[in-house]
Amino acid sequence: MTRRRFHPARAAIAAALAGCLLTVSAGCESARQPARSPAPRTSSPADVCTSLVSYWVKEALKGSKWAGLDWEQKGMSNEQYEIHDDVLVAARAEERGRGREAAFALTDREARRRCEAAKGATGSSENWRPPSEQRVPTSGSRPSPS
């Protein structure tokens, strides 16, 4: 049995070629599968309203320490807060009769229904405006709230 002699130069060349093949292979793999970026998710005013109302009603039902925040701290318009209060009353009654899970389901349904009917319920807050109605200051002054 004859033994081959170790040649450092040949080993270095072999390692370099293996690295090149891996790099080319990875490049080819990524070229075959184009990178996919997730489609931007857009939310309608009704979606935002539903999310806010549902979240805060459920927090109140759970007795969360944050449930006592006011409507501004919760990020709601006045009208959204009215919907919140109405849904919370109904959800508490549902919870007494059928349990918390039923109350959560009612919360989601009623928040969606009420928020869609009110088109997001965004117009009643004095200090909130949809982006299309926001005023841009022209002379360095702040926009008026009215």
- Residue 127's pLDDT is what? 55
- Residue 105's pLDDT is what? 98
- Taking CA atoms, 60 is separated from 55, 64, 73, 76, 89, in Å, by 9, 6, 14, 15, 11
Task: Report the distance separating Cα 61 and Cα 40, nearest Å.
Answer: 32
Cβ contact 105:58 at 8 Å: no
pLDDT at 146 over 60: no
Integer-rounded Cα radius of gyration of the chain: 30
What phi, psi does 3 have (nearest 5°)?
-100, 135
- Which of the four pLDDT bands, split at 50, 70 and 90, describes residue 19? low
Dump pLDDT digits (tens) for 87-122: 999 999 999 999 999 999 999 999 999 999 999 888
- Which of the four pLDDT bands, split at 50, 70 and 90, describes residue 139? very low
pLDDT at 59 over 70: yes
DSSP-based three-state secondary structure for 128: coil
Average pLDDT over residues 122-142: 55
pLDDT at 20 over 90: no
Is pTM beyond 0.75? Reply is no
Task: Report the distance separating Cα 61 and Cα 98, nearest Å.
Answer: 13
Dump pLDDT digits (tens) for 63-77: 998 888 888 888 888
Cβ contact 48:118 at 8 Å: no
pLDDT at 24 over 70: no
What phi, psi does 47 have (nearest 5°)?
-65, -45
- Non-local CB neighbours of 72 within 8 Å, separated by 6+ positions: 127
Residue among 58, 51, 62 at smallest CA distance from 112: 51
* Helices 45-62, 100-117: crossing angle, 10 deg rounding: 150
Q: Mean pLDDT over all residues of the chain? A: 77
Average pLDDT over residues 14-32: 54
